[in-house]
């Protein structure tokens, strides 16, 4: 019988990474440049491995092959087969990330045999004066953009958004973006690792080489229209469900709770993932109890219709599924 599944994080060193994923979430870093923790991944060669129960040691693709719709939902399995459709990350930007853009489904399939990459972020920690780059301040033409790129002034065209803990941003494919220095986010995205880097602040690696830019590929992808209101507005509601983002690729809710809650998933025909952002809680499903701590991500198989979440302390989680 399937049960709520925990996975071993996949840790990624990055040139811009830091130490906060260790200090805030207890990730077992052996480096001072830990940039990403992939919490739940079906990316080929980077599949998450179960860390609890009798399925411990099996990876996510193997589980989908065995359990199919019972694990991910019949509708999801019919659409994606053995490919897990989402990727869940924690990201620590100790330095500015490159300014980048992601292709949508059509171009990603044509060029890379991949899904596109629409994503969302929730800011989990932000230093003083931290910011994100989200889209263009004003409508921009390709010629204006290329001229700014040639003269190192592309940042002047882009919208710099001050951020604080709890801010939420929806980043559809085509929207230019970057996580700024001093920001930690949780990211939920389509299962794709396709990124077009359009500017990288003239940074060089240990050998003195600048990282590759993807200017030509990005031109057909970038949305050059102004992005006026990049933040997702929401009002937290203690012990109730707070909707954050709903799109074709995922639905994300926030649950802040300090008392036991019951969630019924009998009508959605999808797996559900919980990302624990604060506190700790117990997930009860059938006869199974699983402890979930801050920084953990847990997968609720689609065949489990009812879940109890019992907080040890006041807790906050993201609830993610596909509709």
Determine the pLDDT at residue 211. 85
Average pLDDT taken over every residue of the chain: 96
* Segments in the chain forming alpha helices (H): 20-25, 60-67, 69-72, 74-80, 105-112, 142-150, 154-157, 215-219
Is 0.85 surpassed by the pTM of this model? yes
Determine the pLDDT at residue 23. 96
State the Cα–Cα distance between residues 137 and 80, nearest whole angstrom: 36
Q: Which residue(s) pair with 92 in the sheet?
A: 184
Which of 197, 203, 211, 263 does the annotation list as catalytic?
A: 197
Q: Which of 42-46, 105-109, 205-209 shows the lowest mean pLDDT across its residues? A: 205-209
Mean pLDDT within 143-150: 95
Q: Which has more pLDDT, 205 or 135? A: 135
Domains and CATH numbers, the chain: 5-219 (2.60.120.10), 241-321 (2.60.120.10)
In order, the DSSP letters of 233-263 are P----TTSEEEEEE-SS-EEEEEEESS-EEE
Determine the pLDDT at residue 87. 98
CA atoms within 13 A on the CB side of 30: 2
Determine the pLDDT at residue 76. 98
Which phi and psi angles does 224 have, rounded to 5°? Answer: -90, 5
Question: In 3D, which of 177, 156, 193, 200 has the Cα closest to residue 100?
Answer: 177
Quick check: 166 and 122 in contact, CB under 8 A?
yes
State the Cα–Cα distance between residues 280 and 276, nearest whole angstrom: 7
Mean pLDDT within 93-122: 96
Determine the pLDDT at residue 299. 98
Structure-token pair, residue 110: 């044509």
Determine the pLDDT at residue 51. 98
In order, the DSSP letters of 100-135 are EE---HHHHHHHHSS----EEEEEEEE-TT-EEEEE
Catalytic residue at 197? Answer: yes
Mean pLDDT within 65-87: 98
pLDDT, tens digit, for every residue of 224-270?
A: 999 988 899 999 999 999 999 999 999 999 999 999 999 999 999 99
Determine the pLDDT at residue 31. 86
State the Cα–Cα distance between residues 264 and 241, nearest whole angstrom: 12
Mean pLDDT within 180-189: 98
């Amino acid at each position: 019988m399937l049960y709520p599944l925990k996975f071993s994080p996949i840790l990624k060193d990055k040139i811009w990474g830091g130490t906060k994923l260790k200090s805030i979430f207890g990730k077992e870093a052996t480096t001072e440049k830990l940039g990403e923790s992939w919490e739940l991944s079906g990316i080929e060669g980077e599949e998450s491995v179960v860390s609890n129960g009798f399925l411990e040691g099996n990876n996510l693709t193997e589980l989908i092959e065995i359990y199919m719709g019972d694990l991910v939902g019949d509708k999801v399995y019919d659409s994606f087969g053995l490919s897990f459709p989402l990727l869940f990350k924690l990201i620590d930007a100790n330095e500015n990330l490159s300014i980048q853009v992601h292709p949508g489904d059509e171009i990603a399939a044509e060029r890379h045999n991949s899904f596109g990459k629409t994503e969302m972020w929730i800011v989990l920690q932000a230093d003083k004066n931290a910011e994100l780059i989200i889209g263009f301040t004003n409508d921009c033409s390709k010629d204006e953009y290329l001229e700014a790129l040639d003269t190192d002034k592309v940042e002047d065209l882009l919208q710099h958004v001050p951020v604080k803990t709890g801010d939420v941003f929806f980043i559809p494919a085509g929207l230019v973006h970057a996580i700024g220095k001093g920001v930690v986010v949780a990211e939920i995205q389509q299962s794709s690792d396709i990124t077009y880097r359009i500017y990288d602040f003239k940074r060089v690696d240990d050998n003195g080489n600048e990282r590759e830019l993807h200017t030509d590929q990005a031109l057909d992808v970038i949305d050059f229209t102004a992005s006026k209101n990049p933040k997702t507005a929401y009002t937290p509601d203690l012990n109730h469900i707070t909707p954050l983002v709903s799109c074709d690729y995922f639905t994300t809710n926030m649950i802040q709770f300090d008392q036991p809650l019951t969630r019924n998933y009998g009508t959605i025909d999808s797996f559900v993932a919980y990302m624990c952002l604060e506190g700790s809680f117990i997930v009860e499903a059938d006869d199974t109890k699983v402890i979930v701590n801050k920084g953990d991500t847990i997968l609720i198989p689609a065949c489990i219709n009812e879940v109890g979440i019992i907080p040890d302390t006041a807790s906050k989680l993201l609830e993610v599924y596909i509709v």
